Amino acid sequence: MQAVIRTGGKQYYVTPGDILEVEKLAGNIGETITLDDVLMVAGDEDVTIGQPTVSDAAVTARITGQYRGNKIRVFRYRPKKRIRVRRGHRQYITRLEIQSITWGDQEFTAPVPAPAPEPEIAEPVIEETVAEEAAAEDTIVAEATEESAVEAQNDADSADEDTDVVADADANVANADEANGDEADASDADEKKE
């Protein structure tokens, strides 16, 4: 169902559920008003054009806003006369939401949107996930601790082997020094005899 209404010296093509801005209409936000100045009504099969209005048609709308529009700047001047006039104008505007169109005994309203489905609430999985993550971290830490213990043991074993090698080398050097020392003492004794 569509209709053409006249308000504020302008014509508007409306259907139920439309939101439009018209020049100021008396009323507060939330109030319902009836616009009787209907110029045309079109149904599914037939169209009625008023002469000048359709007598048994009306449009019901709800006021959703009262405010002022954008500023329009008006500049007027007379050339060569030093007359310059600059003015601004902001029109009062009413925002309407078309609720229904009534034509004779028929009334057409805006289709009601289906309610949004409620989101499914899942069971709390967060606690289980946190517990699983904590267990996984404990396992990783335990494995890392075992690996570091094995590495430390291997390092200690290799250090013991290195110590043994160094001790053997020191013993060999000491034995060599003693052997050289005995030879040196013998050669010193030979020199003294001569």
Buried b (16+ CB within 10 A) or exposed e, 65-104: eeeeeeeeeeeeeeeeeeeeeeeeeeeebbbbbbbbbbbe
How distant, in Å, are the alpha carbons of 74, 75, 88 from that of 84?
Answer: 11, 7, 14
Q: How much is the mean pLDDT over the chain?
A: 81
The reported pLDDT for the residue numbered 100 is: 93
pLDDT band (50, 70, 90) for residue 160: low
Residue 169, pLDDT > 90, answer no
Q: Is the model more confident about 28 or about 159?
A: 28
**What stretch of H or E contains 186?**
helix 126-193
Proportion of the chain above pLDDT 70, given as a percent: 73
Size of the chain in residues: 194
pLDDT digits (tens, 9 = 90+) for 40-88: 999 878 888 989 999 889 999 999 999 999 999 999 999 999 999 999 9
The reported pLDDT for the residue numbered 172 is: 66
Identify the weakest region by mean pLDDT among 20-34, 61-75, 113-127. Answer: 113-127
Our measurement of the distance from residue 41's CA atom to the centroid of its chain's CA atoms, rounded to an integer in Å, reads 44
Residue 87 CB contacts under 8 Å (≥ 6 apart), including other chains: 73, 74, 75, 76
How distant, in Å, are the alpha carbons of 170, 174, 185 from that of 178?
Answer: 12, 6, 10
Q: List, in sequence order, every residue forming a beta bridge with 38; answer none if it has no partner.
A: 5
Identify the weakest region by mean pLDDT among 77-91, 146-160, 180-194. Answer: 180-194
The token duo for 162 is 């290195």
The reported pLDDT for the residue numbered 177 is: 61
The reported pLDDT for the residue numbered 153 is: 72
Q: What is the mean pLDDT of residues 155-171?
A: 63
The reported pLDDT for the residue numbered 109 is: 86
The reported pLDDT for the residue numbered 92 is: 96
Q: Is the model more confident about 191 or about 123?
A: 123
Residue 107, pLDDT > 70, answer yes
